[in-house]
């Protein structure tokens, strides 16, 4: 809020508070609908016999994310004055759970002109999004109990602590690291966890036999396409809301760079798959859209539309080669989540240091390395303990029959035959 607005009296101040709050709450709702996008993409790119399992995980993930973020994550990510590495705000925790009437709902909260509850709502949506990145990569063979337990611990502890290093005013922020809406803090963090997960789980049965890679086709391209468009729509809230106000100039720029990043990713994915795979691969166009969105998320507020198109196009190229590399390494990612969120999250963070106004390359590189080590290390510890205790993978016969009938007792699709 500017001083001129403050001097104009309570009417203008109240109007700005209302406008900012409405936009922030709408943006949070758009981020929430991304869970339906993730569910649709993952279900579409996997086999029909696992559809209920996919939908179940993507329904429980935001539940886990929001509740755990309220219980511990928000206070960890925004601890106030702390040592820059680890802190906890008892004040925020008390407001959420013990004294909600004391929440700051004035125009001065966080210098953004939105309320405490809007802040919590928006940030909780981000936390839940980070968790669901892992779901698609490890699909079709992970135990439901292991996935849910992993999500619970990872979102409670690993994600908010890493986030505090930048968004909470920690040591990465002091270093000059820039990550506008989370190419690293959300997407790469989730991508590292997904990579560790598929490594420890191993590939699906039949994916890599006799030294050859067998394509395991998803069951619904239309469903996957709907999912990508839902994610694309949600990204306008993901990035646009990260302005943390309804500033008309900056929000409109961010929405423009966001859509151009996605367009660049689709172009890069299309032409690269034609060159590298010798076919017109629609799946790579869809993942190219998501790759472009991830790529510009770190810098959407400080790049030009042309730079967004370039960053997105390079992300679209990278996602294709990343998918091919993972197959060569026999790392089975069902939906390309590692390639989209980790590979392009790294690229987007580094690209911020190349293109972003006011950003420097070396702090971006340090941020990628530090956050990567923390996210991968945290995921390895959690997955490792789960593997030793409850086990990570379902039995081979359950995997072959499908997780829907074996773990849930129902199928995603039922065909009724007439007599």
Architecture field, domain 3-408: Orthogonal Bundle (1.10)
What is the pLDDT at residue 113? 75
* Other CB atoms within 10 A of residue 105 CB: 14
Q: How far apart are CA 239 and CA 261, in angstroms?
A: 12
The Cα–Cα gap between 354 and 41 comes to: 31
- Boundaries of every domain in the chain: 3-408
Task: Determine phi and psi for 172, rounding to 5 degrees.
Answer: -70, -35
Tell me how far apart the alpha carbons of residues 204 and 181 are, in angstroms, rounded to a whole number.
33
Query: Tokens 């790759």 sit at which residue?
Result: 291
Mean pLDDT (10-residue bins), the chain, 419 residues: 54 84 96 96 96 96 94 96 96 95 86 87 92 94 96 96 97 98 97 97 93 91 98 98 95 98 98 94 97 98 98 98 96 97 98 96 98 98 97 95 89 64
The DSSP output letter for 110 is G
- H-type alpha helices, 142-281: 144-153, 159-164, 171-175, 189-201, 221-240, 248-277
Q: How far apart are CA 191 and CA 174, in angstroms?
A: 25
Q: CA angle at residue 405 from 214 to 417, to 5 degrees?
A: 95
Please state the separation of Cα 8 from the chain's center in Å. Answer: 40
């Amino acid at each position: 809020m500017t001083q001129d607005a403050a001097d104009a009296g309570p009417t203008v101040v109240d109007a700005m508070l209302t406008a900012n709050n409405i936009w922030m709450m709408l943006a949070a709702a758009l981020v929430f609908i991304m869970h339906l996008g993730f569910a649709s993409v993952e279900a579409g790119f996997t086999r029909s016999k696992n559809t209920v399992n996919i939908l179940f995980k993507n329904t429980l993930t935001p539940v886990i994310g929001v509740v755990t973020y309220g219980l511990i994550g928000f206070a960890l990510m925004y601890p106030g004055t702390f040592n820059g590495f680890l802190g906890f705000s008892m004040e925020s925790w008390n407001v959420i759970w013990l004294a909600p009437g004391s929440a700051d709902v004035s125009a001065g909260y966080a210098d953004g002109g939105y309320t405490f509850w809007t802040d919590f709502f928006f940030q909780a949506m981000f936390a839940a999004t980070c968790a669901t990145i892992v779901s698609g990569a490890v699909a079709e063979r992970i135990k439901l109990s292991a996935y849910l337990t992993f999500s619970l611990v990872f979102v409670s502890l690993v994600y908010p602590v890493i986030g505090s290093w930048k968004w909470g005013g920690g040591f990465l922020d002091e270093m000059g690291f820039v990550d506008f809406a989370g190419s690293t803090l959300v997407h790469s963090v989730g991508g590292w966890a997904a990579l560790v997960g598929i490594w420890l789980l191993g590939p699906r049965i039949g994916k890599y036999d006799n030294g050859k890679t067998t394509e395991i086709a998803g069951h619904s391209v239309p469903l996957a396409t709907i999912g990508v468009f839902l994610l694309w729509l949600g990204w306008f809230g993901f990035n646009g809301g990260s302005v943390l106000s309804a500033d008309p100039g900056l929000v409109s720029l961010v929405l423009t760079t966001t859509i151009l990043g996605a367009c660049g990713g689709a172009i890069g994915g299309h032409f690269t798959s034609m060159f590298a795979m010798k076919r017109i691969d629609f799946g790579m166009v869809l993942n190219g859209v998501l790759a472009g969105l991830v790529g510009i998320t770190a810098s959407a507020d400080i790049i030009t539309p042309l730079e967004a198109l370039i960053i997105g196009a390079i992300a679209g190229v990278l996602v294709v080669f990343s998918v091919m590399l993972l197959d060569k390494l026999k790392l089975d990612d069902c939906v390309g989540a590692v390639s989209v969120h980790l590979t392009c999250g790294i690229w987007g963070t580094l690209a911020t240091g190349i293109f972003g106004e006011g950003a420097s390359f070396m702090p971006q590189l340090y941020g990628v390395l530090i956050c990567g080590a923390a996210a991968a290390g945290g995921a390895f510890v959690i997955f490792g303990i789960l593997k030793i205790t409850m086990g990570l993978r379902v039995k081979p016969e359950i995997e072959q029959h499908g997780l829907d009938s074996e773990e849930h007792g129902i199928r995603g699709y039922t065909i009724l035959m007439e007599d």
